[in-house]
Amino acid sequence: MRALTRSTLLVATLMLAGCGAVTSLSRASEQLDTYTLSPLPGPGGGGARHVVVEPVTAGGALSTDRILIKPSRVQAQYLPDARWSDPAPALVQTLLVGSLQNAGGFRLVAREAAGLIPDYTLMTELRDFQAEAPPGATPVVRVAMVLTLIRESDRSVASSRRVEAVAPAASDTTGDVVVAFEAAVTQALGQAIGWARAQAR
């Protein structure tokens, strides 16, 4: 009788483990709502300089397409029902390229040199790209990046700058958090593009 009881418990344990695995697989296969962000609009127009925007670098918590939430300075969580259209570093690179193209004043803005020697290379480190949401508080989105403009003629640093922007969300819903991301990104891009245009002369 004791042996039968142990066997029954073993089977029950295996069945529960199987159910847990199926549940995890089901959750992993659920489709998340996908969000994207828009580059700054502008008049466009040509110029004399060719700029290459290198892939954006970021820390591990930011190197994902999940939307980062920080309940505290040392905690990292993600919205359970939403994702970005690309990993955050790739999304920011796309925003920088599009915003520089729309701003005008450049002969060519590209992700790769495409066989041409650029006048400048823009290197970017993404420092912050998250909603900060302490318990009981309305989330505040923070976007920060360090930009370095390399002059390709002598591989020297033409200029470097940190840009940062914050925007409060109207509530803790996913939609309002994404709207706050759009606002913070717009502010940060405005600083970055204005600086890049002034330096890449």
DSSP labels, 130-154:
EEE--TTS--EEEEEEEEEEEETTT
Confidence at residue 150, expressed as pLDDT on a 0 to 100 scale: 96
Confidence at residue 39, expressed as pLDDT on a 0 to 100 scale: 97
Dist CA 111 CA 115 (whole Å):
12
Confidence at residue 163, expressed as pLDDT on a 0 to 100 scale: 98
Dist CA 125 CA 5 (whole Å):
59
Dist CA 78 CA 33 (whole Å):
13
Confidence at residue 30, expressed as pLDDT on a 0 to 100 scale: 66
Choices 3.40.50.620, 3.30.110.40, 3.30.565.10, 3.40.50.10610: CATH for 34-199:
3.40.50.10610
The whole-number mean pLDDT for each consecutive block of 10 residues of the chain, a chain of 201 residues, reads 41 42 42 96 86 96 98 95 98 98 92 83 98 96 98 95 99 97 98 94 77
Contact by Cβ (8 Å): 159, 149:
yes
Confidence at residue 27, expressed as pLDDT on a 0 to 100 scale: 45
Confidence at residue 18, expressed as pLDDT on a 0 to 100 scale: 47
Confidence at residue 117, expressed as pLDDT on a 0 to 100 scale: 87
Task: Kindly report the pTM of this predicted structure.
Answer: 0.83
Confidence at residue 4, expressed as pLDDT on a 0 to 100 scale: 39
Domain boundaries, the chain: 1-30, 34-199
Q: Which of 110, 51, 59, 107 is nearest to 87 (CA)?
A: 59
Contact by Cβ (8 Å): 69, 139:
yes
Q: Quick one: tokens of 101?
A: 């193209």
